[in-house]
Amino acid sequence: MGADPAERQPPRPVLGTPARKLTRTLRDLRRWARLTLHDLHGLDRTLPRSTVSAVERGERRLTWQFVSSFVTVCLRANGLPPAAVRQELSRWREALDTVRSDDAPPPHGTSTTPRDTADFTGREEEVRHLAQRVAASDAAPVVLAVDGMGGVGKTALVIRLAHILGERYPDGQLFIDLQAHATGRRPVKPAEALHRLLTMLDATPAERPRRPEAWAEVWRAELRHRRLLVVLDDAAGSDQVEPLLPGRSDSLVLITSRKRLAGLHASGATAYRLDVLPHDAAAALFVRVAGADRVDARSPEVDRVIRRCGMLPLAVRLSASRLALRPTWTVTDLAEELERAEHRLDALRAENLSVRAAFDQSYRVLSTDEARMFRQLGLHPTGEFGLGEAAALAGADASHVEAVLDRLVAHNLVHEVGRRRYRLHDLVHEYAHDCAEAEEPRTERGLVPLDFGSRRGTAAAEPQVGVPK
């Protein structure tokens, strides 16, 4: 080893890396430790030369037992203290938990999981956390439900997770879109979903059962002896999903929904609320889509744009592709366009994707009183408020308003930022304001925001201070 301390750093695994790369890092670690296969076996009898060389050639699957022995020997041989060894081992554990299956031997089961997002950015924390929760769970099946607002990246994250964890579910990976928020389509009925899942497994019974419960029985029986990874994407609610859950099975079910599925959680599923991207990941996504030759992630203009997008991945992607497709525009042009608020939601669209359409789909499933409350919140000046202000806007008593707000929180249209304090995502706030302008009678509009002039452009600002009715 050289004298430079940087050289003493052992090679480290990368999270979410393909199996082949992880194996290469192991071999680099052995070389860094200057150990031959023979030395290795001399130091740890559980590491025979034939096994190590088969692993290094990618001919044997990595197990934690192997990796932990291998890494420990290499690090100890280089005099690393036990605490440092433990730290390195925990990195390796995480890497092994999130190892990607794409270049591993293909599972023999079918896979209907869509391809991974090519420019998937960030979410390392979420991937690590969720993979660990799956690994640590002793439930059978493990059920994990990811909820969050439209366009926040639930499907992208769950597909990534399915690719990472897929290798552990050799009987197949099934993906089904339950269409709770698909434009012009109805949510898939449980019986139809079961039929489609069984067809994917090539396991539909010769006689089509008439009752949906009978489909569920066939499905449960099929899963009892299989180890499958099932993705139920865009679920409308617990009622739609519950009949699709296996009984006793070593399978993993990953669910996405705009709604927090309280019923499912009560019956033992793990719930995870996904938030917008952190600033740096949103900037990185913007640059990847817009093109690194056009923009610099650290520029103040990129910062302006992604802030206008509220760090929502869907909005960041759409604004970046807007720039990519307009070679004569600068990022400043884009930022200015997005700051002219009356155009912002309309600018965030491309072909069949649009932020407004995504929010429309959330809005149309609200009950009458939820929709009315939502519109009234659009009239709040900042979109961050306490229960008292919401009650004043709605002109209703606080306990009723609190109950309605709870439901809007469950729909991920409102965030509860503290006890009885709430916030609307900036784009959702703007959308709610548009709904109020379109649907609320003028006389019923409560406080027309005084500071909208700066945020939404002067056209919308017509200041009137109203007393809620």
Ligand X SMILES: Nc1ncnc2c1ncn2[C@@H]1O[C@H](COP(=O)(O)OP(=O)(O)OP(=O)(O)O)[C@@H](O)[C@H]1O
Interacting residues with ligand X (CB under 6 A) = 117, 119-123, 148, 150-156, 181, 234, 256, 258, 285, 313-314, 317, 358
> What is the rounded distance in angstroms from the CA atom of residue 317 to the CA atom of residue 289?
7
- 17, two tokens: 């890396």
Considering CB distances under 5 to 8 angstroms, the limit depending on partner class, which of Mg ion, ligand X, none binds residue 16? none
Query: Which H or E run contains 172?
Result: strand 172-177
- What is the C-alpha separation between 223 and 14, in angstroms, rounded? 33
Q: Which is nearer to ligand X, 394 or 432 (CB)?
A: 432
Q: Smallest Cα–Cα separation from 169: which of 114, 80, 109, 232?
A: 109
Binding partner of residue 100 among ligand X, Mg ion, none, CB cut-off 5 to 8 Å per kind:
none
Cβ distance to ligand X smaller for residue 357 or 447:
357
Helices (H), 309-464: 313-324, 331-339, 344-347, 355-364, 368-377, 387-394, 398-410, 426-439, 452-456
> Is the Cβ of residue 25 or residue 155 nearer to ligand X in the bound state?
155
- Smallest gap from residue 382 Cβ to ligand X (A): 25
Which candidate, 391, 370, 369, places its Cα nearest to that of 380?
391
Tokens of 6: 């940087």
Q: What is the rounded distance in angstroms from the CA atom of residue 274 to the CA atom of residue 148? A: 5
CB of 230 to ligand X, least distance (A): 17
Which residue's beta carbon is nearest to the bound ligand X?
153
Q: Out of Mg ion, ligand X, none, which partner does residue 119 contact, by CB within 5 to 8 A per kind?
A: ligand X
Q: Which does 151 bind (CB under 5 to 8 A by kind): ligand X, Mg ion, none?
A: ligand X
Nearer to ligand X, 67 or 289 (CB): 289
Q: Please, what is the minimum distance in Å from the beta carbon of residue 100 to Mg ion?
A: 21
Query: Minimum distance between the CB of residue 461 and Mg ion, rounded to whole angstroms?
Result: 35
| Contact status: 69 vs Mg ion (CB under 5 A) | no
CB 286 within 8 A of CB 295: yes
Q: Does 240 bind Mg ion (CB under 5 A)?
A: no
Nearest distance in Å: CB 257, ligand X: 8
| Site of tokens 């993993």 | 252
425 binds, among Mg ion, ligand X, none (CB under 5 to 8 A by kind): none
Output 152 or 201, the one with its CB closest to Mg ion. Answer: 152
Look at residue 401 and give the partner it binds from Mg ion, ligand X, none, a contact being a CB closer than 5 to 8 Å depending on partner kind: none
Distance CA(186)–CA(234), nearest Å, equals 12
Nearest-angstrom CA–CA distance, 16 and 164: 7
Orientation angle between helical segments 64-77 and 19-32, nearest 10 degrees = 20
- Using CA atoms, how far apart are residues 47 and 398, in angstroms rounded to an integer? 67
Q: Verify binding: residue 113, Mg ion, rule CB under 5 A.
A: no
Q: Min. distance of Cβ 122 from ligand X in angstroms?
A: 5
User: Amino acid letter at 167?
Assistant: E
- Comparing CB distances to Mg ion, the nearer of 154 and 356 is 154
Amino acid type, 351: E
Kindly report the number of other CB atoms within 10 A of residue 361's CB atom: 16
> Taking CB under 5 A as the rule, which mask of x and - marks residues 146-185 in contact with Mg ion?
--------xx------------------------------
Give whole-number Cα distances, 412 to 189, 316, 405, 407, in Å. Answer: 23, 19, 10, 9
Q: Shortest gap between Cβ of 213 and ligand X (angstroms)?
A: 28
d(CA 265, CA 277): 25
Secondary-structure breakdown of the chain: helix, strand, coil percentages, each rounded to the nearest 5: 50, 10, 40
Residue closer to Mg ion, measured from CB, 41 or 154: 154
For the bound state, the minimum distance from the C-beta of residue 157 to ligand X, rounded and expressed in Å, comes to 7
Please, are residues 302 and 331 in contact by the beta-carbon 8 Å criterion?
yes
Q: Which does 358 bind (CB under 5 to 8 A by kind): Mg ion, ligand X, none?
A: ligand X
Site string for Mg ion, 283-312 (x = CB under 5 A): ------------------------------
CB closer to ligand X, 123 vs 415: 123
Considering the complex, state which of residue 74 and residue 261 has its C-beta at the smaller distance from Mg ion. 261
Q: Answer with the entry of Mg ion, ligand X, none that 251 interacts with (C-beta below 5 to 8 A by kind).
A: none
Cβ closer to ligand X: 29 or 408? 408
The smaller minimum CB distance to Mg ion, of residues 72 and 155, is found at: 155
Minimum CB distance to ligand X, residue 272 (Å): 12
Q: Residue 314 touches which of Mg ion, ligand X, none (CB < 5 to 8 A by kind)? A: ligand X
Q: Which residues contact 360 (CB under 8 A, 6 or more apart)?
A: 183
Of Mg ion, ligand X, none, which one sits near residue 375, judging by CB under 5 to 8 A according to partner kind?
A: none
Structure-block tokens of residue 231: 């993705």
What is the smallest separation between the CB atom of 330 and ligand X, expressed in angstroms?
23
Using only C-alpha atoms, the chain has a radius of gyration, in whole angstroms, of 26
Q: Positive or negative CA dihedral for 438, 439, 443, 446?
A: negative
Shortest Å, Cβ 362 to Mg ion: 12
Residue numbers of the site for Mg ion (CB under 5 A)?
Answer: 154-155
